[in-house]
Each structure stands twice: as C-alpha cells, then as structure tokens.
Amino acid sequence: MSASYRPLELQARYRAERIWTGETLVARVAKHVEASPDALAVVDPADGRRVTYAQMWEDACTVAGFLRARGVEPGDVVSVQLSNRYDTVAVDMGVLVAGAVLNPLLPNYRERELRHILSTSRSRVLFTPMELRGFDHLGMARALTAEVPSLATLVTVGEGDPDGELHLSDVLRDHAPIPPVEVDAEARSEVIFTSGTEAQPKAIVHSEETVNSMVRAMLAAMGQKPSDVFWMPSPLGHSTGLNCGMRLAFYAGVPLVLQDQWDPAAATKLVESERCTYTLCATTFLADFVDELSRSPRDVSSLRVFGSVGAPVPPELVDRADSLGMEVLRLYGSTEAMALTWNRPDTPKEKKYNTDGPPLPGVELEVVDQDGKPVPAGTEGEIRARGPATCIGLFEDPEREAKMCSPDGWMYTGDLGVLDEDGYLTIVGRLKEIIIRGGAKIAPREIEDLLCEMPGIRAAAVIGLPDDRLGERTCACVVSERELSLDEVTAFLKDQGMATFKLPQVLRRVGEIPLTASGKQRKNALRDQILAESKS
C-alpha cells in the first residue's frame, strides 16, 4: 500500500533529505543488541522483571518464529490486545520481527469493537489475556474466532488456565528464534483503529518510515540523552503508548518503564525509584500526578519532559506543575498524523502555558477556512497538516481516505486551531463530534445508533459535557416514551457488547432533539440547554 494521497515528489524529497532513512525499528534494535546486549530494555514493576535488550530480542525473535511457523507472511495482520506488561512488548516486537503488520488493541475493547476490527483487518492471529480486570477475554476471543474467518490462531497471555488454548509460555518454550524478516520501510507496518465522527472506527495505516520519522523528530526536540529512562503509563494498545513510548524508547536504545494500571501514588513512586526522565500521557494523568505530588511530595526531579496530549491542557495545570519543579510540554497530534507540534524545553514560558507548540521538523501546518484557503495568523480555522509522519492511508477504505486527504499531500484533521505569528499552534476545538474522555476518543454516533434500538427511545443525541478531571463526560440525551434510568440505559448498551469506557455517565430525557433546517442535530444548542439546566 503506497501513500496514494502523498505526491511522489514529496516522498522523493523526504528520502533525499534523509527524513525517511529506510531504517526499521527492528533493524535499530538489532544494532542496540549487538552493541549493548546487557543494557536494560524493560522494567515491569507488576512482577519485578528487569529485562535486558538481549533477552527481549531473543523473546521477540522466538515469537516471530512461531508466527512464521503458523503461516503468517509479511503484510499479514496480527492483533495484540494486552495490557502494559513485558509480555506485550515481546509480542509487539515479535510481530515486527516477523515482518507482519502490528494491530494494537486497547484491553477495554469488547465484542462489538473487536468483531469489526478483526474482520476489517483480516487478522490472522490474536494475542489475548485469559482474564483481565475481572473480564473473561478468553471467552470473548473464542467466540470471535468462530465469527472471523481469517482468525486462525489464538494465543493466551498471563496467569490462569488456558484450557486447551496455546499460551505464550508454550510459544517461547517450543519454538526457535528466527532472524528478522526483511521488509520495505514504506510498506504497512501498523494498522491502528481510531474512532472519528463515524460509527465505525477508521483503520489508520502507518509504515516504518512514517512512524520512525516522528520518533526521530521527537527525540531531537526533547534533546534525548543516553542516560534517559522512559516511563509509559499510556496503553501500549494505543498509538500513544506504542509509538511515543515503546517505539521511542527502543529506537533510542534506553530503558522503558511500564505502568500497567493508572495509580498516581504508584506513578510518583515509580518515577522517583527508577529516575524516569520522560513520559507522554493524557491530561488526566498529568492532573492526577500533580495532585498526588501536592499531597505527598516525592523527588521527581529526574522527570525533565512530561508531554501532555489528548485533551486541552489548562495553563493553570502547567503552572502548578512548574511550581513543583516539573516541566510540562504541551503537544498536538493524532493517530492519523502522529505528533505534529510540541513545545520544547527552551520554549518561552508564555508559549508553554498557552500554546501546543511549534511544528516538529518536517511538519507543515496550515489553518484554513471552510473553503480550504489559509487564514491570517491569529484567526481560527481547521488545521491541516502535511509531513513525513502522516499515515500512508486508511486500510482499504478509499472513500473515507479521499475525504481526509488531498491530492497534494495535505491531511485535514477536523480540529480547530489558531497559529500565531511565530508559528505556535493553539487547539481551540473540534469540527468532529468526537468526545475525548480521559484521553480516550468516543464516537457519539455509535452510541446513538444503539440507543435508538432500545425499546421506548424515539431519538437520541450524545454530547460531551465539561468535566474537571477527565475533560469531558458523555451525556446521552433521549426522547423516550417513559422515564428511563441511567442504569437501564447502560445495561442495554453493555448487552450490545459496548466497551465500558464508551458508556454515558449522564442521561437526560428531552422533549425533542433540536435540528437544523436540513435535519442535522444541533448539538451545540442541546449542550447549551443541558448546561443551563445544570446551573439553574
């Protein structure tokens, strides 16, 4: 799959300027293993494992040997729905060593999401927990293997009885490591599903060239040092944890410290004990981290870069972090385009507090009006981006790809922003209707479609309401024949296989959903109505 929307001359320029280098993450890690085999690669506090680059490499190459023995060929998709543990790292790297396409999955996805993802990507293998946080993942995975024709192999990971299924321990015991499979750095490497305004998630496809160009730009922007230790509490099943955590650390050849479940007290202790120097997570994590330090101070002076992304970062939160000796660097990006802007350690204080930073090297940004024409500095408009890290397209979805990308290589983000005269970007809103709750994106239409299937509901609109901690709460507004409770509604959605993080936290029964003359829902008016009622 080539970047159909990215002009050939633009690709040629990236190669000529060595922005695209042809180097894969696997090749990079192989060099680290050869140079420093005993260097620390992964710290897994959940079980105390401290794994060297040599051991991680052997495990990854063994997973790759298993995949090849199971008939997985370069370009085949392998899905990984695991949490932030060392095993996940070994599996993810093993998929890349085998030359397959890595499909990371959030552990909180359920039947509805997984059925679509596995079928669309034609996944060959699924790595799954047996049970995680009280949910029967193995039972769900078994049901899905019967529904997805391409899914030939299921591998369980973690504690518990696999009950006849393959377990990762069997894979590592019974198979031999293989050398890395040579791949084209411009071919498919990752396919990551993300929710937009549509009910069905988009399948974003990246290559080693696109993602690694972002990695190099981020490492240069932060002034990466050989002594760095990267801490990652963001999920490895999401692009942030995978590409701005695991990939970033391994490309640099530094230790990756994992945190499996978010706990701010555990986080501050981990940063102090491991002397972590960098992280990137949602604004919610930052707020919790700062609150915990205010209650129980610890020495986190090693943490010189705290990247905050995924939801608006209030200037007062940056100020509070600064007063505690932490440097918060706001940034802006997406799964489609990776990191686009990032404040630097030497960014002027006022810019750090009030903007999301200047473009990373190689990134072109424009703010345009509704006709696609650039607007003057200081004027609000839609952000469009062009750069070496924008995705190579959508997975066999040319119609939506054409709406997102222009023939001259620009990607329309659907986000609203302002560029100042110095080129610093500030995000001010979204054209898209997605709700961002704690950094997780939620598509209202998916919830609305299911609500309208619930007996007694005639119409539904789902909106985001402000939330001090999570950024937004999901509010379901329904026109119904009778009073409904929030518990009834969430129970119905759960029965339809909806993931817990997408369930509404607020329910409002309304007389009607306000519409435009063309019949579109006026969600801004509905949101204003709900907020006004809350204040009265």
Cα 37 to the chain's mean position, in Å?
30
Task: Say how many C-beta atoms besides its own lie within 10 A of residue 468's C-beta.
Answer: 7
Q: What is the pLDDT of residue 326?
A: 85
For residue 147, the number of C-alpha atoms closer than 13 Å in the C-beta half-sphere is 14
Task: Output the pLDDT for position 78.
Answer: 98
Domains delineated in the chain: 25-38+53-182 (3.40.50.980), 435-535 (3.30.300.30)
List of E strands, 45-194:
49-52, 77-80, 101-104, 125-129, 153-157, 166-167, 188-194
Bridge-based pairing state of the strands 457-467 and 471-480 = antiparallel
What is the C-alpha separation between 35 and 18, in angstroms, rounded? 24
Distance CA 528, CA 520 (A): 17
What is the pLDDT tens value at each position of the chain, 536 positions in all?
Answer: 345 688 999 999 999 999 999 999 999 999 999 999 999 999 999 999 999 999 999 999 999 999 999 999 999 999 999 999 999 999 999 999 999 999 999 999 999 999 999 999 999 999 999 999 999 999 999 999 999 999 999 999 998 888 889 999 999 999 999 999 999 999 999 999 986 545 578 899 999 999 999 999 999 999 999 999 999 999 999 999 999 999 999 999 999 999 999 999 999 999 999 999 999 998 889 989 999 999 999 999 999 999 988 766 778 888 889 888 888 999 999 999 999 999 998 999 899 988 999 999 999 999 999 889 999 999 989 999 999 999 999 998 888 898 899 889 999 998 889 999 999 999 887 776 778 888 887 878 889 889 988 999 988 999 999 998 889 999 999 999 999 999 999 999 999 999 999 999 999 999 998 875 446 688 888 999 999 888 76
- Buried b vs exposed e over 20-53: b needs ≥16 C-beta within 10 Å? bbeebbbebbbebbeeeeeebbbbbbeeeeebbb
> For residue 440, which of 193, 204, 256, 270 has the smallest C-alpha distance?
193
Kindly list the distances between the CA atom of residue 479 and the CA atoms of 456, 461, 462, in Å, as whole numbers in the listed order. 9, 9, 12
**Amino acid 519: pLDDT:** 60
Residue 403 pLDDT: 87
* Among 210, 181, 220, 502, residue whose Cα is nearest residue 342: 220
User: What pLDDT is recorded for position 436?
Assistant: 87
According to DSSP H, which parts of 148-242 are helical? 168-174, 208-222, 239-241
pLDDT of residue 2: 43
| Per-residue pLDDT, 451 | 93
Cα separation, 337 vs 391, in Å, equals 6
Under DSSP, is residue 427 helix (H, G, I), strand (E, B) or coil?
A: strand
